Structure 1
Amino acid sequence: MLVIEQSLRTFTQDIFKAMGCSEEHAALAADVLLLSDLRGIDSHGVARLTGYVRLWEKQRINPTPNIRIVHETPTTATIDGDAGLGLVVAPFAMKVAIAKAEQYGSGWVSIRNSNHFGIAGYHALMAVEKDMIGFAMTNASPLVAPTFSNERMLGTNPMCYAFPAGKYPPVIVDMATSAAANGKLEIAQRAGKPIPEGWIQDKEGNYTTDPHALKNGGSLLTLGSDRDHGSHKGFGLSATVDILSAVLSGANYGPWVPPFVSFLEPPADPVGTGIGHFLGAMRVDGFRPVDEFKAHLDNWVSRFKSASQIDPNQKVIIPGEPEHEAHIDRLKNGIPLVDAVVKDLNQLAAKMGVSPL
C-alpha cells in the first residue's frame, strides 16, 4: 500500500495526541517517524507506533514530560527527559547542543530518563541545518551479545555522524553497531523470510537465519559477527555508545536498559533512569570557513563516486545517498507500507479512536 506523506503524518500525529501529547509534541514525534519512512528506513518509522503506545499503556512513557537540564557547563549539559518520548526529548537536547555550539564552537549533551528516539539521523541533521557537524547516538534494548558470549548485554546502539556539503546532500553515516538492527528482523518476520547468516545467534551461540530466534533466547551479533571478522570492533563501538549515552548521563546501561521490544520486561534492579542518548554539534567554521569545507567535501564526494567499480552496474555509494534518493522518490510517489504494518496501524487506530489509514 502506498500512502501519501501528509496522510501518514496526520495519522501519526493523531495517535500521539490520543496518547495525551500536546499538539507541538505530537507534530514533532510524527516528524521524526515520518523522516525515517521517507528516507527508506522502514524499521524505525510508523511501524514502531504500536511499540510507543504499548509503553505508554504500561506507563513507561510520559506524554507530558518536564524535560530539563540538570547539570551543565558552557559547552556540555546533562538532560533529564522525565520519561518522555525520545522522539521529543532528543530534539530538545540537540537544540541545547546547537545553542552551545553557536556560542562556544561545540556543544555536547548526554541524556537520561528517555525512551526510543527514532532514527539517529534526524537529530544529527538538525546540526547540519546550521552548518554544523552533528553527532547522535543512543543505547537500546539489550539484544546483542558481546564477542565470545551468548548473553544479551547491549543494544543495537546506533551512532550517526552528519556533515554538511555544498552541491551534494549531507554525508550521513547512520548505523547500528550490531550486525543488523532489530527492526530488520521485524521486517523479515512480517515478510516471512529468513535473515542472512551472521546477523543473529541462537541461545547456544550458533548462527541461525530464523528472524524469530530472539524470542527463543537468541541474541543479535555485534558488527563483524565473529572475532575473525572484527566483532570485537563492533563490541567496542557499541560499548562506546553505551558509556557516552548512559554511564555518563545516569541512564540505565548494558543489560539494565529498559526494553522497547515486547518480549522483554525491564529489569527489577535498575542502575539508572530510562534509556540514554548522547548528542553533539560542532561548528564547521571553528576549523575552517564553511564554504571551503563544503567545497572540499563536494570534491571528496565526487572523487569517491568516481572510484573504479568492480561491477559496472554497481556504483560506489556515498553514506546517506540511498536514503536521500528514497526521500525524493517517496515524497513524490508515496510511502510504501506492507500489509502487516497497515493491519497493525488500523487496529491501533480503532483502539485509540482515530481515523484509519
Structure 2
Amino acid sequence: MTADAAAAYEQHFGRAPELTTYAPGRVNLLGEHTDYNGGYVLPMPLKGLGVFIAVGRGPAPGVVEAYSDTFNASETRKITDGKEGRWSDYVLGCLKAVAQEEIAETGLRVTLITTLPMGAGLSSSAALEVASIRAASELFGKPISPVEIAVKARAVENGFVGMPCGIMDQFASSVGTPGNALFLNTRTLDYQPAHLPDGHSFVIVHSGVSHQLTEDGYATRVAECNAACEALGVEMLSDLGPDDLDRLSGIADLLARRTRHVITDNQRVLDGLDALKAGNMVLFGQLMNASHASQRDDYEITVPETDALVEAALQAGAIGARQTGGGFGGSIVVLVPDAAVETVGQSLVDSFAKARVLAVT
C-alpha cells in the first residue's frame, strides 16, 4: 500500500515522492470513553488497516496540495488556512503543528490511501493525523518521538479540527504494535504492551451504520462528564473508583449513569489486563460483554444495529462481543476461539445485510 501511495503521487503530480509513511487504525478491546476522563484503555493497532501517505516538497511556497486516491479527490490549501470542515483539515492541522515555517518556504504535496472504512469506529482520523505528522517530521528532519506524535495529533484534533477526543486513538496508532494490545493510563501516559494469548482471535465487524463523531453525541458525553466532575467535586472522573459508586446517588440520574460507566469500564480494563496475563479469555469475554451493556444502558452510545450484532455474535459461539470506538454506530469487536472464527463471521454476514468482516487479528 505504501507503494500504491507512491504510485498515486507520481501519477497525480508527475514526479516521485520524497518519502512514504504509514500509520495503523485501531480497535479498542476495553475502556470506552474513558480516555478523555483520564482513565484506562486497552486498544490494539490493526495490521494492514491504516493510512498510507506519500509526500514531497511542492512548487508553490506555502501551498499544500493534497490528493486522496481513496476518494479520488484533490484539495489545495494554504499553510496559513484555518479549519474549513474538509478532510484536508486533518492533514493541514498536523502539517501546521510540525513544519509550518518550512512549508511556508517550500510548499508540500501529499497523496494518501486509506484501507480504513470511514465511520467504522477504527480511528481513521487518528491514523491520518499520525501518518501526516510522521511524514512532515521525516521530510523536514524534525525528529519526534512516538509519544510526542500522539500528543501533537490529539492536540490537532482537539484544537484545530474541533473534536474533544481523548488520546487513546492517536497513542495506539503511534506507539502500539499491531498484533499486541496496549494498556494505557491516559492521565499519566504510562503504558505497557499486553500480549494476546494464542488460541483466540478478535474479529472486527462493521455494522454498516457509519458515524460522524463531530456530528453526534460525542461532545455531549464530554460535557456530561465535565458536569459530573463538578457535581462530585473531582478534577476528572478517573479520580473515582468502585468504592465511590455509592456517591452517585447524590447527583442527577443521567450524570450518575455516565459516571458509573466510566468507573466500571476503568475497572474492566484493569481486570482485562490481568485476564490477558493469566490467559483467561473466558473472563476477558465476560468483561467485553459487561462493557457493551454499560455502553448501551449507562452511556447510551450504542445503536440497535450494534446491539443486535453483539447478541447474534454471542449466540453464534463468540466468547465476548462489544461495540468498539466512539459509538453511535461503527463496528463491534468479537472474541472468538480460533476454530470458530469463520463460522461466527459468516453467521453475522449472512444474518445482517449491511454487516461485513473488516479484520481478524
TM bucket, shorter chain: under 0.3
How high is the TM-score relative to the length of structure 1?
A: 0.27
Higher strand share: 2
